[in-house]
Copies of this chain bind each other. A is one copy, B any other.
Amino acid sequence: MPNPTAAMLVIGDEILSGRTRDANMHFLSGELTKTGIDLQEVRIVSDKTSAIVDAVNALRADYDTVITSGGIGPTHDDITADAIAAAFGVSIDVRDDARALLQAHYDRQGSELNTARLRMARIPDGATLIDNPVSVAPGFTLGNVHVMAGVPSVFQAMVASVLPALTGGAPLLSQTLRIQRGEGDIAGPLGELAQEFDDLQIGSYPYQKDGVYGANIVIRGSDSARLNAAMTKLSGLFPA
């Protein structure tokens, strides 16, 4: 049985402008791979309602699970919750349980739950909350879409909250062989190996460092015996 599939949607003007380098995608891809869920697509869109709506609707139709990051804070550019509600065609308003979480948090801090902060209690109809042990303001799950914060520490905590509920397949294992020869020298035998082991994914990731060409050959699959067999054959083809 093929592994469940996932897509990620990053709502991130700051990444598209080059100001920030994404960290959440890299974290999530590693976690999903360990869980046996295939991350098959990532989209990064800007803070525009239409861009978010279109991307969410395309991805939730195509993949088993969608995880979004960013845009659920209290400022004017935090429009993700409203966009998700629009994508699903449901209404959205401040919800009592989310408001209670925030009220208790700001009471403890001695801060005011002002209008801006109350935006973070806006939850689309029918969603369930995602626990946020870092900064309280919750994410939410609607259908197969999990909506999380963009701040990496909060995003990671929310992934940890959701991941156990996602049923993964067998974890994807990988082995890597670094070959210090140009891809053009190894491509022929490598292609034959990929045909022989067509139940595995064999990828060639070239590098060039100080004028020396090489490639990391990564073999992925969930059957460790097959993985070992392919790696043994690969090492034999290209002895160090």
A binding-site residues for B, Cβ under 8 Å:
13-22, 25-26, 28-33, 38-47, 51, 73-78, 106, 111, 114-117, 119-120, 134-135, 150-151, 153-154, 172, 174, 176, 182-188, 190-191, 194-195, 201-208, 213, 215, 218, 220
Contact = CB atoms under 8 A, between A and B. Distances in A.
A185 B117 CA distance: 8
B14 A205 contact: yes
6 contacts: A16-B40, A16-B42, A43-B43, A73-B187, A77-B204, A115-B188
B74 A187 contact: yes
Interface centre among A17, A20, A21, A218 (most CB of B within 10 A): A17
A114 B184 contact: yes
A40 B29 contact: no
Given A13-B203, A17-B33, A17-B218, 20 more contacts: A15-B25, A15-B29, A16-B38, A16-B39, A16-B42, A18-B32, A18-B33, A21-B26, A22-B25, A41-B45, A41-B51, A43-B44, A75-B186, A75-B215, A76-B194, A78-B204, A111-B182, A117-B184, A135-B213, A151-B208
A172 B117 contact: no
A63 to B, nearest CB: 11
A211 to B, nearest CB: 10
Given A44-B42, A51-B41, A20 B115 contact: no
Q: Is the interface of A mostly helix, strand, loop or mixed?
A: mixed
Given A20-B205, A153-B208, A182-B111, A187 B116 contact: yes
A202 B184 CA distance: 48
A105 to B, nearest CB: 10
A74 B183 contact: yes
Contacts of A44: 25, 41-43
